[in-house]
Chain A
Amino acid sequence: MSLNVDRDRMAFTFKGGMLPMTVMELTSADPERIREQLAGKLSQSPAFFQHTPVVLNVEKLDEPHLALERICAVCRAHKLLPVAVRGGPDPVKQSAWALGLGWFPPQEASRPRPLESVADDAPLAEEFEPDEPAEASPEASAEALPGPTVGGRIYRGTVRSGQQVTAPEGDLVVVGAVNAGAEVLAAGNVHVYGALRGRALAGIHGDVKAGIFCRELHAELLSVAGNYKRLEDIDPRLLGTTVQVQLFDGQLSITSLD
């Protein structure tokens, strides 16, 4: 049977993967305007434009036909490599395929239900900007990662099992407890002024400087910029105490504030 193919003879294996991807959200279909803006960006942060793969998001355009070929040419001329198109009506999909590009359904259709894991969350992937260019150019970084207080969120009350409270930008402050089975997420820091019994994820867009602060640690899971610890990995002596959680050298460190 073909199921037990000799591993040495296999030419490839299929694997699912989540790769950071830059999405170019087009608000104009005019190739000339796109060219102008790209030229400006190129002079600001040349490090960003190194044959970077991009997905062209055309959802915000309300045009049945796009000069997709010209837009792609403009991108390539500025060392951006369009690999796929997201959204748009059927003719756009057809021309994307004709140009050898992939096509993704629009965000609405493919958006996972809110309770699914962060990694699958479409909007997060959208807003993701690679770290490298952000560091290469302070200006670009300021644009990509809003300051910690911008657009933060304060939630008052108990976050209950099955509930998810997210601050897609900035910090999340919970004035109350986060119960087992609940999940709190923030682009910036997560503060819990009560017992943290559920999951807390800070720096969900990759901000390694984000932290988690809570009054009483019983968390099921702590994560900063994707580096996580489960309840089992947490030093039992820290349970029930007031702590801060931060990333040092890629390691999650939990320190008592008592």
Chain B
Amino acid sequence: MAKIIVVTSGKGGVGKTTSAAAIATGLALRGKKTAVIDFDVGLRNLDLIMGCERRVVYDLVNVIQGEAGLNQALIRDKRVDNLHILPASQTRDKDALTQEGVEKVLDTLGKDFDFIICDSPAGIERGAQLAMYYADEAIVVTNPEVSSVRDSDRILGLLASKTRRAERGDDAIREHLLITRYNPSRVDLGDMLNLDDIREILAIDLLGLIPESEAVLRASNQGVPVTHDDSSDAGQAYADTVARLLGEEVPLRFHEYQKKGLLSRMFGGARR
């Protein structure tokens, strides 16, 4: 059976879809057969980030309502063989999803895939709860700012109570923290929360830290998940994240401000 991983955050705009796309791509690049599902019905974005928006015919809602088969709706990624995308519907709303329907889709996919990544919508309502309900693991995407941390905290509470594992009393969902848009120099200046503060408040394992990077925006607009850009800091950070997800020990990078050379320290001393 596939491992079902939900990528969630509570707050919008923190990088859920970017991370879901990057992690799914990373897993596929590592040879794992991976499906990534967009649960944000009505605000479909994953197809754009994955660069397959022109190939969408059927979507998750069509499959759940029996209007199309799962294989008709799954889009095979052009760049990586093992990667498939199941887009959300743009014209319906989240009420079109049913719990039984989602379960059936996940069960069917589970037989063929190693990993299923569920890209959750923002918020804590039905769409987000359905995305997390059947998950085995959760990646909680958090920005280094107080509102994002609080919303992540809220989501962690829901993961511990409103999921199938919680309701059945099975082993708890494994919760991972993924910090995105981390800017070490702004952390040093006190503009952003630092890594240790976030870890202390949320009290879960750190899976990865993605630095704030121009590569992310560029990747999104080009429809190429940033993991493919292995020369960029964000691409490498996502590759590290995927490695940790697969159980490898990888040291943390990009969390410290890169000290400049002697000259720039002498002349750039006004920074503080």
A residues contacting B by CB (< 8 A) are 158, 160-163, 176-177, 179-182, 195, 197
Contacts and interface: CB of A to CB of B under 8 A. Distances in A.
B154 A158 contact: no
Most A CB contacts (10 A, CB to CB) among B153, B158, B200 go to B153
Contacts of A195: 200
Contacts of B160: 160
Nearest to B146: A180
A158 B150 CA distance: 13
B157 interface: yes
B171 to A, nearest CB: 15
A111 to B, nearest CB: 19
Contact of B201 (A162, A163, A177): A177
A25 B7 CA distance: 49
Contacts of A179: 150, 153, 201
Nearest to A164: B157
B203 A161 contact: no
B156 interface: yes
Interface in B137-169: 150-151, 153-154, 156-158, 160
Contacts of B150: 161, 179-181
A181 B201 contact: no
Given A161-B154, A162-B153, A181-B154, 10 more contacts: A158-B153, A158-B202, A160-B153, A160-B154, A162-B154, A177-B201, A179-B150, A179-B153, A180-B153, A195-B200
Contacts of A180: 150, 153
Nearest to A158: B203
Interface in B72-108: none
Contacts of B200: 195
Contacts of A163: 157
A197 B202 CA distance: 12
Contacts of A160: 153-154, 156-157, 160
A82 to B, nearest CB: 41
B154 A177 contact: no
Interface in B108-158: 150-151, 153-154, 156-158
Most B CB contacts (10 A, CB to CB) among A160, A161, A182 go to A160
Most B CB contacts (10 A, CB to CB) among A179, A180, A182 go to A179
Interface in B188-218: 200-203
A177 B158 CA distance: 17
Nearest to B203: A158
A184 to B, nearest CB: 13
A158 B202 CA distance: 8
For the complex of A and B, 6 pairs with smallest distance between CB atoms: A160-B157, A161-B153, A161-B154, A162-B154, A160-B153, A163-B157
Contacts of B151: 161
A180 B200 CA distance: 13
Contacts of B157: 160-163, 182
Nearest to B157: A160
B259 to A, nearest CB: 30
Nearest to B204: A158
Contacts of B156: 158, 160
A178 to B, nearest CB: 11
A181 B153 CA distance: 9
B237 to A, nearest CB: 26
A55 to B, nearest CB: 33
A181 B156 CA distance: 13
A161 B203 CA distance: 13
A180 B203 CA distance: 13
Interface in B54-85: none
A116 B200 CA distance: 28
Contact of B203 (A162, A177, A181, A182): A177
B194 to A, nearest CB: 16
Most B CB contacts (10 A, CB to CB) among A158, A162, A163, A180 go to A162
A241 to B, nearest CB: 16
Nearest to B10: A161
Contacts of A182: 153, 157
A181 B200 CA distance: 16
A92 to B, nearest CB: 37
27 contacts: A158-B153, A158-B156, A158-B202, A158-B203, A160-B153, A160-B154, A160-B156, A160-B157, A160-B160, A161-B150, A161-B151, A161-B154, A161-B157, A162-B153, A162-B154, A162-B157, A162-B158, A176-B203, A179-B150, A179-B201, A180-B150, A180-B153, A181-B150, A181-B153, A181-B154, A195-B200, A197-B201
A155 to B, nearest CB: 12
